[in-house]
Amino acid sequence: MLRPNRRIWSTWSGTAGCLPAQLAAPTSEDEIAEAVRAAVRNGLNVRTAGTGHSFNRLVTTPGALLDLTSYKGVVAVDRVAGEVTVRAGTRIGELCRVLDRDGLALANIGTLADQTIAGALSTGNHGTGLAHPPLSGQVARLRLLTADGNVLTVGPDDDPDLWGGVRTALGTLGVLTTVTLRCVPQFNLRHRVDSAPLQELLERFGAWAGESEHPSLNWQPWTDRVTLRSIDRTDAPSTPRASARRLAATLDEVRCGFTGQVARVGGARTVPALTAGLGGLGPTSPYVDASHRVFTFPQPVRFLAMEHALPLERTADALRELRPALRRLGMHSPYSVLVRVGAGDDVLLSPAHGRATGYVNLTVPRTVGHLEILRIAEHILRGHDARPHWGKAHTATAEVLAPRYPRWKDFRRIRAVLDPEGTFSNEYTDKVLGPVDAADRR
Ligand SMILES: Cc1cc2nc3c(=O)[nH]c(=O)nc-3n(C[C@H](O)[C@H](O)[C@H](O)COP(=O)(O)OP(=O)(O)OC[C@H]3O[C@@H](n4cnc5c(N)ncnc54)[C@H](O)[C@@H]3O)c2cc1C
């Protein structure tokens, strides 16, 4: 099934790509197993791709690439147990629509419906809400195809280290084939937007983080006000034409994309003036809709993003430090800094491992002029004990990351046992996790 390949694979953002020697799009677990066996026989390393919504070189390989986007669909919905089993390449939005028809929902998701369940899990994908850990917290069990061709079913009652490692593994332990997630009864959410002075918000950051079930804030660093988004459960019915309301966020991104294009001529310094000239969309009125339609919105404009997970209690200080640094730099992104929060978890490589978390996300247009913003911000956030989002842009190496993860060695041990030859590695995983080392097995 693995044929010589001439197709270039690239990420959604177009910021990373590769020409794999072999490219397969399996449609069954057997085909996945056969593709891995064939790659191993040919001495090729294997990387697995979802929809490529990670921004870095996690997926790229000169070896064998398994594109799992054709291996999709819901396998079973168990209404009694409140569980759904999906094939790894199923997109989050597709899953949510199927659950909706069955009166079920996922308790919390991020802002994008397009990425695959397995890709999202593997990179520590999260939404917002102090009561909600990353997506991995909703997993009941999963199936993992390992380098020796065996398929393991792993759940919370199995080896706790394996269970802790397998849910966010950057594709380095093998190929996830199916994932079983816990669901909740379908619910509606009310979406509300307010604004507040930045200073005041930072003084009461901890309290603000707990005032809504799903809070987030947006801040344009050249201004002193923030936009606050609160998303909360309600028994109220959907607002008429609610679907159109969520497009306000999409239109805002289109406006940012356009501003970024114009700033290519004038430079990143011109962004505040351009933004003022174009005018924002302003606050939207509250609306109610099905949870998955309120959590997510279509994001057609391509950009580059970096996000770091900080201890919740250090997040306000990090934002205080970012403010003068980004102003001094004088260059700006048309996209706001996005701040979200989340519960900690016990997943070994989860950026939220062991602590309530504040997530600080910076989005920039894909131009060289904007990269400096990310470099400055990364330097500051790192000083606040931050861990980068595995799927987003960052420059951290294994040396930088290891001391930030208390269970780092346990993950390396599991990897050395499950994949002793480093079959599922690439240059990028060697950089961020270090190469597989037989000595780690002890
Ligand atoms: C517009 C946009 C919005 C985003 N919003 C959010 C957000 O709200 N919250 C958030 O946390 N992140 C967000 N992200 C980041 C993104 O969701 C994640 O990084 C995720 O990786 C994307 O999933 P994917 O299917 O595109 O995976 P890919 O990018 O294709 O792969 C990511 C990783 O998963 C591994 N992988 C994929 N499939 C498998 C498998 N079957 N078995 C084993 N490993 C596998 C790959 O090897 C790779 O290491 C966003 C990204 C974009 C572009």
Per-residue pLDDT tens over the stretch 111-151: 999 999 999 999 999 999 999 999 999 999 999 999 999 99
Cα 390 to middle of ligand 1, angstroms = 9
Mean local confidence (pLDDT), 42-67: 98
431 domain residue, yes or no = no
Token pair 């309290």: residue: 207
- Please count the structural domains in the chain: 3
Give nearest CA residue, ligand 1 atom 20: 120
Atom of ligand 1 nearest to the CA of 392: 19
Atom of ligand 1 nearest to the CA of 53: 26
Mean local confidence (pLDDT), 261-269: 87
145 domain residue, yes or no = yes
Assign 3-class secondary structure to 237-290: CCCCCHHHHCHHHHHHHHHHHHHHHHHHHHCHHHHHHHHHHHCCCCCCCCEEEE
Separation CA 227–CA 217 (nearest Å): 6
For residues 241 and 332, membership in a common domain is answered with yes
Of 193, 218, 299, whose CA–CA distance to 254 is shortest?
299
What is the pLDDT at residue 268? 87
Of 120, 150, 185, which one is at a domain's C-terminal end?
A: 185
173 domain residue, yes or no = yes
Q: What's the mean pLDDT when you consider all of the chain?
A: 95
Q: Find the CATH number of the domain harbouring 14.
A: 3.30.43.10
For residues 225 and 274, membership in a common domain is answered with yes
Cα 51 to middle of ligand 1, angstroms = 7
Residue 2: pLDDT above 70?
A: no
Substitution site in 13, 47, 53, 254 for ligand 1 pocket (most atoms within 8 Å of beta carbon): 53
419 domain residue, yes or no = no
Sequence-ordered list of residues with C-beta below 8 angstroms from that of 440, at least 6 positions apart, any chain? 409, 412, 413, 415, 416
32 domain residue, yes or no = yes
Per-residue pLDDT tens over the stretch 325-371: 999 999 999 999 999 999 999 999 999 999 999 999 999 999 888 89
What is the pLDDT at residue 281? 59
Per-residue pLDDT tens over the stretch 147-180: 999 999 999 998 999 999 999 999 999 999 999 9
Separation CA 363–CA 229 (nearest Å): 18
For residues 141 and 74, membership in a common domain is answered with yes
**What is the three-class DSSP state of 419?**
coil
- Assign 282 a pLDDT band (cuts: 50, 70, 90): low
Token pair 């800094």: residue: 337
What is the pLDDT at residue 105? 98
For residues 29 and 178, membership in a common domain is answered with no
What is the pLDDT at residue 300? 93
Answer for the pair 373, 331: CB distance below 8 angstroms, yes or no: yes
Atom of ligand 1 nearest to the CA of 89: 41
Give nearest CA residue, ligand 1 atom 37: 119
Of 46, 84, 63, whose CA–CA distance to 175 is shortest?
46
Cα 265 to middle of ligand 1, angstroms = 32
279 domain residue, yes or no = yes
For residues 221 and 265, membership in a common domain is answered with yes
Could you tell me the residue range of the domain that residue 84 belongs to?
A: 70-185
Token pair 């990090």: residue: 318
Atom of ligand 1 nearest to the CA of 170: 49
Name the percent of the chain lying above pLDDT 70: 98
Cα 121 to middle of ligand 1, angstroms = 7
Of 69, 94, 116, which one is at a domain's C-terminal end?
A: 69
- Assign 30 a pLDDT band (cuts: 50, 70, 90): very high
Per-residue pLDDT tens over the stretch 11-29: 999 999 999 999 999 999 9
For residues 213 and 319, membership in a common domain is answered with yes
Of 394, 410, 429, which one is at a domain's C-terminal end?
A: 394
What is the pLDDT at residue 441? 86
Ligand 1 pocket at CB < 6 A: 12, 47-54, 58-59, 68, 88, 110-112, 115-116, 118-120, 122-123, 125-126, 170-171, 175-176, 299, 389, 391
For residues 235 and 322, membership in a common domain is answered with yes
For residues 77 and 177, membership in a common domain is answered with yes
3 domain residue, yes or no = no
Substitution site in 51, 54, 254 for ligand 1 pocket (most atoms within 8 Å of beta carbon): 54
Give nearest CA residue, ligand 1 atom 7: 110
What is the pLDDT at residue 283? 61
Cα 273 to middle of ligand 1, angstroms = 34
Cα 116 to middle of ligand 1, angstroms = 7
- Assign 405 a pLDDT band (cuts: 50, 70, 90): very high
Give nearest CA residue, ligand 1 atom 4: 112
What is the pLDDT at residue 245? 84
Give nearest CA residue, ligand 1 atom 49: 170
441 domain residue, yes or no = no
For residues 83 and 204, membership in a common domain is answered with no
For residues 240 and 227, membership in a common domain is answered with yes
- Assign 420 a pLDDT band (cuts: 50, 70, 90): very high
Residue 285: pLDDT above 90?
A: no
What is the pLDDT at residue 266? 85
Pairing status of strand 74-78 against strand 17-18: unpaired
Q: Find the CATH number of the domain harbouring 251.
A: 3.40.462.10
Pairing status of strand 104-105 against strand 184-185: antiparallel
Residue 279: pLDDT above 90?
A: no
For residues 271 and 138, membership in a common domain is answered with no
- Assign 297 a pLDDT band (cuts: 50, 70, 90): very high
Q: Find the CATH number of the domain harbouring 108.
A: 3.30.465.10
Of 121, 96, 115, 130, whose CA–CA distance to 339 is shortest?
130
**In degrees to the nearest 10, what's the CA dihedral of 271, 276, 279, 280?**
70
For residues 268 and 374, membership in a common domain is answered with yes
Tell me the DSSP string of 107-145: S---S-SSSBHHHHHHTT----BTT---GGGGEEEEEEE
What is the pLDDT at residue 248? 86
**What is the three-class DSSP state of 213?**
coil
Cα 306 to middle of ligand 1, angstroms = 13
